[in-house]
Amino acid sequence: MNSASPTPVIAVTMGDGAGVGPEVTVGALLDETTATRCRPVVIGDAGRLRKAADVLGVEVEVVAVDSVDDAVFTPGRINVIDLGLLPAELPWGAVSPVAGDAAYHYIRVASELATSGAAQAICTAPLNKEALHAAGHIFPGHTELLAQLTGTDEVSMMLATPAMKVIHVTTHIGLIDAVAAIEPGLVERTVRRGDRTLRDSGVESPRIGVCGINPHAGENGLFGHGEEAEKIVPALEKLRADGIDAQGPLPADTAFYLATRGEYDLIVAMYHDQGHGPVKVLGIETGVNITVGLPVIRTSVDHGTAFDIAGTGKASADSMVEALRQAANLCA
């Protein structure tokens, strides 16, 4: 490895081997811009990456290495810490407990590399929650899994696109449970994590728009049962007293539009679909998932395993390229 290189080492997890993860990983690592930004080392399966390269019709040298220090970064070469957990005959596009278990261990090893300092960031290809659960790893997704692996009590999910950034107060729980879970302390901590992340990335005075829960943010009590006044307003008062520019509660049906116009640097969504829907309308291939609050940097594609097209070569690597770019930027 060229130790003089200023670019960060990024541990790239291959995701669920039955999905598009191997294909988007190969595609992103062969993108000419990736090598200028970072030194990626895949945690995954060398044989599966070679099959993905065949599917994509590209020539690549997939080299198994024992550690980050053994990686050599040259054009057309992919370094992989090969855990050897996938059978050669694993079918594309089907839920597999074996693939789910392997995906868990890719994340575990990447987390160990990042927390030890061997890697400066983690970038993840998609896993399949059903496969993960079938393997006995009961987590809603990467966010919660990485929180446990790093001993972090509370994290937030941020979605970043060229047009706007969105952070979520609640994520992978049902809507009724989400409304019950929202309370001033959680809202306040979420906004603070978002504000800190933007400041760390170079935004001097982030402008943050905070969505309401009900239509029209409750319309002064006309809709809902006073959730905005009870659950959100007290948090905003404390944040503004501390000099954080947090505006709201805002009607969610206009807040995202205002963000795309440049009026807000960050939108705070109260629940999963409130934030995910607008981001994915903008283009799922450009969205990046950033876990905020971890002791390590972690970015991810903002799409799933796409079993319907896995193994066909149709999957776009654009989101993975962008996720690697954002990880490298956050390292800087």
CA distance 298 to 282: 22
- What is the pLDDT averaged over residues 1-30? 88
- What is the pLDDT averaged over residues 206-224? 92
Confidence of residue 12 (pLDDT cuts 50, 70, 90): very high
- What is the pLDDT averaged over residues 55-67? 97
Q: Determine the pLDDT at residue 218.
A: 81
* pLDDT cut 70: percent of the chain above it: 97
Domain span(s) for CATH 3.40.718.10 in the chain: 9-152+295-331, 156-278
pLDDT digits (tens, 9 = 90+) for 103-131: 999 999 999 999 999 999 999 999 999 99
Q: Which fold has domain 9-152+295-331?
A: Isopropylmalate Dehydrogenase (3.40.718)
Q: Which has the minimum average pLDDT: 43-47, 222-226, 249-253?
A: 222-226
Confidence of residue 246 (pLDDT cuts 50, 70, 90): very high
Q: Determine the pLDDT at residue 172.
A: 87
DSSP class of residue 228 equals I
The per-residue DSSP string of 300-312 comes to EESS---TTTTTT
Q: Determine the pLDDT at residue 33.
A: 95
157 has which bridge partners?
291
Q: Determine the pLDDT at residue 236.
A: 98
Q: Determine the pLDDT at residue 330.
A: 87
CA distance 233 to 12: 40
Written as one letter, the residue type at 220 is: N
* The CA-based dihedral angle spanning residues 306, 278, 276, 317, taken in that order and rounded to the nearest 10 degrees: 40
Q: Determine the pLDDT at residue 4.
A: 47
Q: Determine the pLDDT at residue 100.
A: 97
Tokens of 281: 């309308």
- What is the pLDDT averaged over residues 86-115? 97
Q: Are 249 and 232 in contact (CB under 8 A)?
A: yes
Mean model confidence pLDDT for the chain: 94
Q: Determine the pLDDT at residue 1.
A: 42
Q: Determine the pLDDT at residue 5.
A: 55
pLDDT digits (tens, 9 = 90+) for 28-39: 999 999 999 999
Q: In what order do the strands lie in the sheet with 121-124?
A: 61-64, 77-82, 39-44, 9-13, 121-124, 298-301, 288-292, 156-160, 165-168, 266-269, 207-211, 245-250
Q: Determine the pLDDT at residue 2.
A: 43
Q: Which of 59, 62, 63, 44 is nearest to 126 (CA)?
A: 44
CA distance 17 to 9: 23
Q: Determine the pLDDT at residue 267.
A: 98
Q: Is the pLDDT of residue 331 over 50?
A: yes
Whether domain 156-278 has CATH 3.40.718.10: the reply is yes
* Residues in contact with 137: Cβ distance below 8 Å, sequence separation at least 6, in sequence order: 100, 101, 104, 145
Rg (CA), the chain: 20
Confidence of residue 260 (pLDDT cuts 50, 70, 90): very high
Q: Is the pLDDT of residue 97 over 60?
A: yes
The bridge status of strand 288-292 relative to strand 266-269 is unpaired
Q: Determine the pLDDT at residue 68.
A: 96
CA distance 210 to 166: 10
Q: Determine the pLDDT at residue 285.
A: 64
DSSP class of residue 90 equals P
Tokens of 329: 């930027």
Tokens of 7: 């670019």
CA distance 213 to 230: 11
DSSP class of residue 199 equals H
pTM for this model (two decimals): 0.87
CA distance 164 to 12: 25
167 has which bridge partners?
158, 268
Q: Is the pLDDT of residue 283 over 80?
A: no
Q: Is the pLDDT of residue 11 over 50?
A: yes
Confidence of residue 284 (pLDDT cuts 50, 70, 90): low
CA distance 204 to 213: 28
